[in-house]
Amino acid sequence: MIEPSSLIACTLADGVFVGPFVAIAHGVCVGAHTRIQSHSLIREYVEIGSNCFIGHGVVFVGNGFASGELSQKRHAVVGNNVSIGSNATILPVRICDGCVIGAGAVLTKDALTRGIYAGNPARLLRSLG
């Protein structure tokens, strides 16, 4: 971890890199050998897999509600080997293993097909097989 950063009751596996000015909230789990670049914000209970790259200024918007029920919170779940470009915004969605999320993308729906997603709202541009 490069200071100053704010890590609050989160779990970081071996080999995780956290850049400066990163805020990681309570209950976040980050897998081994993941890199989180500067100025990123990861809200409560997000799960990030191993060998991921989180670019500069990525924001995980937290605590959405599933089915409109206040009692059932959703959070983002990022698979392994995922790359998220700078300034992307990730809502409470699931991202499958091996996805690439383009810089500046706003991911509003689950990314369940391994591929490249970009745009606002982000959409699948190309499958990666």
Q: What amino acid positions are annotated as catalytic residues? A: 56
Interatomic CA distance for residues 64 and 73, integer angstroms = 6
Q: Which amino acid is at 7?
A: L
Token pair recorded at residue 36: 């989180």
3-state DSSP call for residue 76?
coil
- Alpha-carbon distances, residue 11 vs 1, 2, 63, 73, 78 (angstroms): 13, 16, 18, 20, 15
Calculate the CA 75 to chain-centre distance: 10
